[in-house]
Amino acid sequence: VLENYHIASAFKLLNDCPEANLLDVVSQDERVMLRKEMVDSVLATDMSHHFRGVENLKNFVEKLDRDPADWDEEPGAKSQLQMMLLHAADISNPGKPINLSDTWTDLLRQEFYSQGDLEIDLGLPVSPMCDRSVTKFAGSQVGFIQFIVKPTWDVLATISPTVEAVVSSEVATNLKIWKERKVQEDNEENKVAVTLALAETSPAHDREGGRRPSGRAAPEDDEED
């Protein structure tokens, strides 16, 4: 939904503001081609297309390797590369140095939690990763980097040494740090679970719940004379 809205808004801006219409300087045929490429690329950022897009690009890479001439001649190859480059940029935050990546991650986390709060207020089901009361954020980041971000940039790195040297190294660093944070997150969760378990078995809890500690007999009622 958002991707369709974004590209529709972009073309509305081009049509409504002549001074912003970058396509005015190209021919009609070029305008049609550019519009198609823009629409395809933006819609390809939808995560529902992620795994298919990575697999398609991987097939082109295995077939064409790094020769630009081969990519130019192969039907659909450059379009697929273009779509995956934009998608990779869209999920590239773990490819930044950790101090910069953390800044954007914190903003994203607050956006997710704000959405979840609003969904709760409206009586709607809470979207994944948006419930601040149950989300294990470090764990979700590990999964996101390990299964979504890293495989995408790994494919791009096979055709670009610069990607491997600059982006892939940061992705590896981010993944290592988030795995460490996940361990801390799991330890904190375990501490809370143990604390709750101990509280439930404490004598104070038994008295509050109307139960008597084991081994203590109930006082006998006074018998009436």
Please tell me which of 4-8, 194-198, 210-214 the model is most confident about, judged by mean pLDDT.
4-8
Per-residue pLDDT tens for 67-90? 999 999 999 999 999 999 999 999
Residue 191 pLDDT level (bands cut at 50, 70, 90): confident
Q: Examine the pLDDT at 213 and tell me if it is beyond 90.
A: no
CA-to-CA distance for 35 and 180, rounded, in angstroms?
A: 44
Q: What is the pLDDT of residue 24?
A: 86
Q: Is the pLDDT of residue 206 over 60?
A: no
pLDDT tens-digit map of 6-38: 999 998 998 898 888 888 888 989 989 989 999
Percent of the chain with pLDDT over 90: 65
Separation of alpha carbons 55 and 199, rounded Å:
51
190: pLDDT confidence band, cut at 50, 70 and 90?
confident
What is the reported pLDDT for 134?
79
Q: Are 95 and 171 in contact (CB under 8 A)?
A: yes
In this predicted model, what pLDDT tens digit does every residue of 154-168 receive, in sequence order?
999 999 999 999 999
The reply to whether the predicted model has a pTM over 0.85 is: no
For the segment 199-211, the average pLDDT, to the nearest whole number, is 64
pLDDT for 63 equals: 94
Q: Mean of the per-residue pLDDT values for the chain?
A: 88
